[in-house]
Structure 1
Amino acid sequence: MERHRAALKNYQQILSFVFAVKEIKENPNILPNITIGFHIYDNYFDARMTYQNTLNLLSTWNRPVPNFSCGIQKKLVAVIGGLDSETSFHIINLLGPYKIPQVTYSFLQAGMNEQAWHPSIYQMMPNEAFQYRGIVLLLLYFHWIWVGIIAMDDDKGIHFMRTLTLMFNHNGVCVAFTERIPTMASVFDIVSLMRHTESMSILLNKTNVIVINAHIHTMFAMTGLINMATVADMSMAAISKVWIMTAEWDFTSHPSVAELDTQVFQGALSFAIHSKELLQFQHFLQILNPHYSERDGFIRGFWEQAFQCSLSNPNMDKENGEGCSGAEKLENLPGPFFEMRMTGQSYSIYNAIHATVHALHAMYSFGPHHMATEGGKRLELLKLQPWQLHSFLRGISFNNSGGEKVFFNRNGELTAGFDIINWVTLPNQSIVRVKVGGMDPQAPQGKELAVNEKIIKWHSRFNQVLPLALCNDNCHSGYSRKKKEGEPFCCYDCAPCPDGKISDQKDMNDCFLCPGEEYANKAHNKCLSKTITFLSYEEPLGITLAFFALSFALISTLVLGIFIKNQNTPIVRANNRNLTYSLLISLLLCFLCSFLFIGQPQTVTCPLRQIAFGISFSVAVSSVLAKTITVILAFIATKPGARIRKWVGKRLTNSLVLSCSFIQAAICTVWLCTDPPFPDLDMHSLAEEIVVECNEGSPILFHCVLGYMGFMAVVSFVVAFFARKLPSTFNEAKFITFSMLVFCSVWVSFLPAYLSTDGKYMVVVEIFSILASSAGLLGCIFAPKCYVIVLRPELNCKEQLTKRKK
């Protein structure tokens, strides 16, 4: 019975073979008047049995001796099989010298599918590289980047692991572990498998997604391991994973499924050779019974095993599971035992039969008209050799009964894709396959994979939430990956984005800067639009500065009015009226030029404000310098016999003011003609604001204007300082010294303050310096005089001015 059990696990494949032959026989357009025969052998996954069965095909009936023509000869045209690459390799070792076509429905090992190596093999499967590509695409689709790989400890398993690991590394997927399962060829391997049970439980805890090279040997061992784990009371959570299996596996074809807790594989995903539902095949299965064909040596054993009854004595009590009536229905069998829908492997066998027969039909159709002659006689059709079938198989192309086109590529591989199957287990241990997508290698890049995620049923452990397969938790937006030393690239820490940078997606490798017109929010996960800012009249700071500028301008005007009204008084006349008026007007302009710095910079105001500021201050400082020199000259001129008296007068002061102001005006003119100030946007000084400012154009000329003004201020201060001890009656130099000390202090403080501020506050610093220095000159020079003129008019007389200090 165990022999039957092993032989009948793929019984649907046998039925698909029989159905294809039946369909061909009933088609009068294919090989009319020619009878097709076939033999089905099971090698029980034994190499010796494979060689023996192949020799039987090459030999006469019941005498496995090839190359001898004796007895009734078999007319072998082609071989369909085998189920795995090892079987196909053993078969081709014997069929190769005869050049008999072998149409296999398994993936071949690397290099075996090359036509240059084995020109007699035709593969009813796509190239295995497409399946590897499909696995990678499926993992990337679900963002599974931390997965395990399980394969058999043989050449095919090693090749599978190496190929997948390399592809994973190139596509950003990390391998959590690789595990080779020992074969079960002997009892010692079973002991080895038991030793693997404990280590496997540790490995399985590393990830939720595991890729299995699911050919039949691997799954035999895997189910044995799971059964051992169950006996050892291993936690079901440890083995309830998302299993991704290759196209060789089919749950319903496995004889050990009855003893396996199928809930372990709930939600598993597997690749399958693309197939299409054939309604005629279902009808064929519905009418099948144990007496359908006497030549079917498998159906009785399958029937007894599937329905747990006996056909040898149908009169037994069927209720006790002992007798078979033969009227049982295959559609009543649970999924693990038999499926009414054609599986991918059965579909491949069905197409293999049709491909072989269509090639044979093309060869026979070609023969009578174009067949070469030998010795002047046409070759007989029945003497055509199997090797002549190759050219027709390579070029075969037909539509099967499902309406799908079948043809081989130049490497003898089927040009087709894969279906993606979701395995759904039911409480009665039944397993239902649900097609949830597909992989089309011929589709444009980026569109090869199609998945309907909504209909996928995951294992109950995941509560129908998409399982995660990550080495660690995702880095949220606002963080970036930071590599862990000594760990795979999928394992990382999460580092917060630095100031000014963001990450707006999960698991970003690096944070990035926002565009110039945007800035990073506090969470560093979004860019916000910057506000446009400038010193305006609508904000408190702008209003305050404008108020002070206007106030000082009015005070300057008031002082100028007082001096004009009292222009003939001794104190006004003694202080050089023209210089006084010039200084007051220039100070008035300095106060008023502050308004050019407030408000949005414009094309006109940007050049005008610096020029007005520079020239106005130059006139003011040169006037102060002229007043200081006038005081000194006036004191010297009062000495008896002084020759310098002729220099005291309007000509000297006017020349001094004009010449000093002219130099500043010349510098400003060069500035305007070469690289003048212009409106500009400062995107970078402030994180959250775009500052509308005046770009100074040439920084050299800008500093020349400030430097020249500072030079004159220092000269005025030095001259006034040395004249401070003159008699107090004439000593305006004391007030000038103090005023220039205030002026220089303000502008010395201005430079570091100006360079250390950003945005509109640079303008605030400049306005403050203008107001403070101008107010210092106005207050220190004119406050004492206004006090005497307005409040102490009795002191504003010639007698007071001519007094000498004792």
Structure 2
Amino acid sequence: MKCMVYTYVFLNLFFKALSGELTCQIQDTFQLQGLYKKGDIMLGGIFEVSFKTKVPDLSFRAKPEEWTCESLDFSVFQWAQTMAFTIEEINRDQSLLPNITLGYRLYDNCMRLQVALRAATALVSDAGLNIAKNHCDGLPPVVAIVGDPLSTHSIAISRMLGLFRMPMVSFYATCSCLSNKQDHPSFFRTVPSDAFQVKAMVQIIKHYGWSWVGVVVSDDEYGQYALKNFNEEMKYIGCISFAETIPKSNIKLTVSQIVNRIKQSTSTVIVVFSSRADATSLVKEAVQQNVTGKQWIASEAWSTATALATVENFASFGGTIGIAIRKGVIPGLEKFLFKIQPDLLPDNNLGLRFWETMFGCTFQDSSRTKNASAVFQSGKACTGLENITETKTAYSDVSESRASYNVYKAVYALAHALHNLMHCERGKGPFENNTCADIKSVQPWQLLHYLKKVSFTNRLNETVAFDDNGDALAIYDIVNWQREVDGSVTTKTIGIFDAAKKSGKEIELKEENIFWNFHSGKVRNKPRVPDSVCSRSCPPGTRKANRKGEPACCFDCIPCADGEISDQYWSNYERNKCVIREVEFLSYEDAMGITLTSTALFGACLSVGVLAVFIHHRNTPVVKANNSELSFLLLVSLTLCFLCSLCFIGKPSDLTCRLRHVMFGISFVLCISCILVKTIVVLMAFKATLPGNNMMKWFGVAQQRSTVFFCTFIQSLVCTVWLMTAPPVPAKIPTFQTAKLIFECNVGSLTGFSCLLGYIGLLASICFVLAFFARNLPDNFNEARFITFSMLIFCAVWITFIPAYISSPGKYTVAVEIFAILASSFGLLVAIFSPKCYIILFKPERNTKKAMMSRTLSD
């Protein structure tokens, strides 16, 4: 059935279009309150001038009546007038948009989303203007819209305007969600995003050490997104004691419950993210319940609201700290505001409402002011000649030009974008085929392109530009509610937040100018800064113990155990003070280090001495009979073995940690390789004495050198891979039984270290087995016996080393490793070379060929 209806409607429209009956025409218009001035290019504006509305009957049994707006806000009407002032200022400036006159059409949203959407639709669709039949082209009704000031309204309107790529520049909508360019491609703002406002609030909270904070937010995107961001930022410095939401319905009952929660909470600091209307209901209820002793942190939406910063509210809300939009004094604005005159044209009915509200009168033509407040429908008549310069209201007060200044910047941003568009060079344009836009028929999407790149310095010497998200540069004033000498309440600037500054330095506060609404809280009289914590810091000698089911900021204090303060520190005997741990390592200065160093140097000198003896007696039979070249190389490697132990002594560093294990591994493999080749030579020499055996030719000098080189090369390869993958590094290892830090070399890769030791053990084992089999071979001076004994000592030392190394604490671990190196080195040196040195030095008569031959014959 529905399909048939839709088909009928479509066909009906289709045939009407063919016949010319379907024309571009307005079906109906909204009865909105606004201000209007004609121009070559029109800019739209949406403002929250009225803060009360009468909801019409929405039963839909008849056409709904228009929404009725009441209770005009003078300060917001100033915002609308600021837009008119800025446009007139631009029109007078011949250097900006020459020969082009800007006009405006401004509407009141009555703080209702329904009315705001009607206003936006009217601006987009050209409602209220005459459109020629069959003529739907030409200039759009407006090329951009300044506003809406409310985040919730801006989200809805921006989604609609984004479809047409019509720029929307808000001067007050701060929800961080509006930075999403996928959802809001044509949205810009001259007010910083709430993401920065939250950072500013958290910086204040962190500055004063408040770790226990309550939060109240409005039930809209502005409040909910702010709460989400606040939770993310606050978790690094403290906890949220409670989070309450001010609803849009049943507000009286719910706000009363919220205020009760605030009174019962142990949190002293209360953060409120809400619109001015929601904040008003909260403030009234808090004052009614006589809430005192709380430090309020106000969001920018209500921090400078003069209707809230009053003498009546000061007992509860005095000293409130708020984040405020940057203030700017606009030259000539005050004079312009006093020039306003009532205009009886329907397009300027908002001006009539303002005049009637300001002077408490009514214009006689009631049909033109049917939306005026009923208070003034009966009473004195307005003449239009009333003297507005004698009034003193928020309308004419330009001392706190915050939102007005943002309106000023928004209009100028659009004007500069239009100016850049107008001065596009032909053939170098940004659009298809490098074309430029025509200023006489400019389209919103063309203006959008230039608005993204606009950047200029205004008359107040402030740079106006937008980032990739359409957000303005984040700078806030920090304000404080204080009493003046005459008893009135004012919002005084006490600091600044600049997101462009270095992290941690964004906030600047004038501490001496802050008023705290607590005892002795007067400015400049050593004010007592309030504190807000769930649990006090634990006294010395105790530690935190979290309470089950409560936030981390709520804890009990229990006595500390030994050493529970820090890895780098230890507790003193009373456990109430940190004493730095002693760093322990095997030093050259202590007795053990001196002893081991002396022993290592003695061993190295002894090896060099033996080498000198062998070189001096290199032509004697004892030296020749035992392969002098291998003996020389073995003595050099033993010298390196003794010296490598010195790398284990002293303060560990990257160089010594890497060098000690490389020198140890390579020098010992070189040493064992020489002994292994010596053993093989002994076996080969015996086999060669048998008839018909010619094995020595297969293991001559070249093969002996190659064997030593190859065995050492494998160890070098192991060390290289180890150092490239996970090298040894110095590390401080805490011990939990003593107040010491062990400074030692962490091996890095346990696999690399194991391969290094395992390869040494493998060569030593092979050498020991071969020497053992060759120990009883008949020879006048059988070296295999001494090699067997030396390998027995070597293996015994290193097998004993493993359990001693594991069980030794601290620097003694390194001492055990050095002892194993020295003991095994001395074992090899003494076992292999002492018998030879004895004959060379003390029994030279036995160091002859005849003596060695006779010994062989006797054997």
Q: Which residue does 2:298 correspond to in 1?
A: 245
Residues 1:32 and 2:98 aligned together: yes
Q: Percent identity?
A: 23
Q: Which residue does 1:222 correspond to in 2?
A: 282
* Distance verdict in 2 for CA 1:491–1:198, change over 3 Å: closer
1:274 to 318, 322, 326: 326
1:359 to 397, 417, 425: 417
Deviation at 1:183, TM superposition (A): 1.4
1:201 to 230, 251, 263: 263
* Distance verdict in 2 for CA 1:368–1:224, change over 3 Å: farther
The one-letter code sitting in structure 2 at the alignment partner of 1:326 is N
- Number of residues paired by the alignment? 508
Instruction: Note if contact 2:124-2:142 (Cα within 8 Å) is conserved in structure 1.
Output: yes
CA distance in 2, matches of 1:492, 1:378: 67
Instruction: Note if contact 1:265-1:425 (Cα within 8 Å) is conserved in structure 2.
Output: no
What's the CA shift string for 1:701-735, capped at 9, x where partnerless?
xxxxxxxxxxxxxxxxxxxxxxxxxxxxxxxxxxx
3-state DSSP class of the match of 2:185?
coil
Deviation at 1:386, TM superposition (A): 1.6
* Distance verdict in 2 for CA 1:435–1:292, change over 3 Å: farther
CA distance in 2, matches of 1:48, 1:387: 26
The one-letter code sitting in structure 2 at the alignment partner of 1:277 is V
CA distance in 1, matches of 2:90, 2:305: 27
Residues 1:404 and 2:462 aligned together: yes
Instruction: Note if contact 2:196-2:499 (Cα within 8 Å) is conserved in structure 1.
Output: yes
What's the CA shift string for 1:189-225, capped at 9, x where partnerless?
43444455544433xx421111111223431432343
CA distance in 1, matches of 2:98, 2:480: 42
3-state DSSP class of the match of 2:81?
helix
Residues 1:475 and 2:538 aligned together: yes
What's the CA shift string for 1:258-279, capped at 9, x where partnerless?
7962442211112123333334
The one-letter code sitting in structure 2 at the alignment partner of 1:176 is S
For normalisation by structure 2, the TM-score amounts to 0.52
Residues 1:493 and 2:559 aligned together: no
User: Pairwise mapping of residues 709-728 of structure 1 onto structure 2 (< 5 A)?
Assistant: none
Q: Which residue does 2:819 correspond to in 1?
A: none
2:341 to 291, 294, 301: 291
User: Pairwise mapping of residues 648-667 of structure 1 onto structure 2 (< 5 A)?
Assistant: none
* Distance verdict in 2 for CA 1:52–1:394, change over 3 Å: same
CA distance in 1, matches of 2:224, 2:465: 31
What's the CA shift string for 1:441-474, capped at 9, x where partnerless?
2222222222222211111456331110111333
* Distance verdict in 2 for CA 1:413–1:110, change over 3 Å: closer
3-state DSSP class of the match of 1:62?
coil
Instruction: Note if contact 2:216-2:244 (Cα within 8 Å) is conserved in structure 1.
Output: yes
CA distance in 2, matches of 1:10, 1:340: 12
3-state DSSP class of the match of 1:219?
helix
CA distance in 1, matches of 2:590, 2:276: 81
CA distance in 2, matches of 1:221, 1:261: 12
User: Pairwise mapping of residues 235-384 of structure 1 onto structure 2 (< 5 A)?
Assistant: 235-237=290-292, 240-252=293-305, 254=307, 261-282=313-334, 284=336, 288-291=338-341, 297-298=349-350, 301-302=353-354, 305=357, 310=361, 325-329=386-390, 332-333=392-393, 339-366=397-424, 370=428, 380-384=438-442
CA distance in 2, matches of 1:99, 1:129: 25
CA distance in 2, matches of 1:155, 1:602: 70
Q: Which residue does 1:702 correspond to in 2?
A: none
* Distance verdict in 2 for CA 1:125–1:400, change over 3 Å: same
* Distance verdict in 2 for CA 1:83–1:465, change over 3 Å: same
What's the CA shift string for 1:19-48, capped at 9, x where partnerless?
322321221100111111111111112222
Q: Which residue does 1:151 correspond to in 2?
A: 217
3-state DSSP class of the match of 1:412?
coil
CA RMSD of aligned residues (A): 4.6
Deviation at 1:407, TM superposition (A): 0.6
Deviation at 1:379, TM superposition (A): 7.2
What's the CA shift string for 1:603-641, capped at 9, x where partnerless?
89x99xxxxxxxxxxxxxxxxxxxxxxxxxxxxxxxxxx
CA distance in 2, matches of 1:248, 1:455: 23
* Distance verdict in 2 for CA 1:49–1:63, change over 3 Å: farther
Q: Which residue does 1:458 correspond to in 2?
A: 516
3-state DSSP class of the match of 1:157?
helix
* Distance verdict in 2 for CA 1:418–1:65, change over 3 Å: farther
Q: Which residue does 1:118 correspond to in 2?
A: 184
Instruction: Note if contact 1:277-1:341 (Cα within 8 Å) is conserved in structure 2.
Output: yes
Instruction: Note if contact 1:419-1:438 (Cα within 8 Å) is conserved in structure 2.
Output: yes
Deviation at 1:102, TM superposition (A): 0.8
CA distance in 2, matches of 1:529, 1:46: 66
Deviation at 1:141, TM superposition (A): 0.8
CA distance in 2, matches of 1:478, 1:123: 53
Residues 1:10 and 2:76 aligned together: yes
Q: Which residue does 2:758 correspond to in 1?
A: none
3-state DSSP class of the match of 1:44?
coil
The one-letter code sitting in structure 2 at the alignment partner of 1:437 is G
CA distance in 2, matches of 1:427, 1:264: 19
User: Pairwise mapping of residues 416-455 of structure 1 onto structure 2 (< 5 A)?
Assistant: 416-426=474-484, 430-455=488-513
Instruction: Note if contact 1:359-1:396 (Cα within 8 Å) is conserved in structure 2.
Output: yes
Deviation at 1:298, TM superposition (A): 4.6
* Distance verdict in 2 for CA 1:90–1:298, change over 3 Å: same
For normalisation by structure 1, the TM-score amounts to 0.55
3-state DSSP class of the match of 2:482?
strand
Deviation at 1:149, TM superposition (A): 0.7
CA distance in 1, matches of 2:132, 2:215: 44
What's the CA shift string for 1:653-682, capped at 9, x where partnerless?
xxxxxxxxxxxxxxxxxxxxx9xxxxxxxx
* Distance verdict in 2 for CA 1:466–1:283, change over 3 Å: farther
Instruction: Note if contact 1:483-1:489 (Cα within 8 Å) is conserved in structure 2.
Output: yes
* Distance verdict in 2 for CA 1:521–1:162, change over 3 Å: same
CA distance in 2, matches of 1:152, 1:487: 25
CA distance in 2, matches of 1:63, 1:292: 22
The one-letter code sitting in structure 2 at the alignment partner of 1:278 is I
* Distance verdict in 2 for CA 1:368–1:297, change over 3 Å: farther
Instruction: Note if contact 1:423-1:432 (Cα within 8 Å) is conserved in structure 2.
Output: yes
Instruction: Note if contact 1:311-1:325 (Cα within 8 Å) is conserved in structure 2.
Output: no
CA distance in 1, matches of 2:313, 2:234: 31
Deviation at 1:172, TM superposition (A): 2.7
CA distance in 1, matches of 2:464, 2:98: 22
Q: Which residue does 2:586 correspond to in 1?
A: none
3-state DSSP class of the match of 2:179?
coil
| Structure 1: segments with no counterpart, 5+ residues | 314-319, 502-509, 531-600, 608-673, 675-683, 689-806
Deviation at 1:396, TM superposition (A): 0.4
The one-letter code sitting in structure 2 at the alignment partner of 1:267 is G
Residues 1:394 and 2:452 aligned together: yes
1:179 to 223, 226, 244: 244
The one-letter code sitting in structure 2 at the alignment partner of 1:271 is I
Instruction: Note if contact 1:7-1:42 (Cα within 8 Å) is conserved in structure 2.
Output: no
The one-letter code sitting in structure 1 at the alignment partner of 2:197 is Q
3-state DSSP class of the match of 2:103?
coil
CA distance in 1, matches of 2:300, 2:77: 18
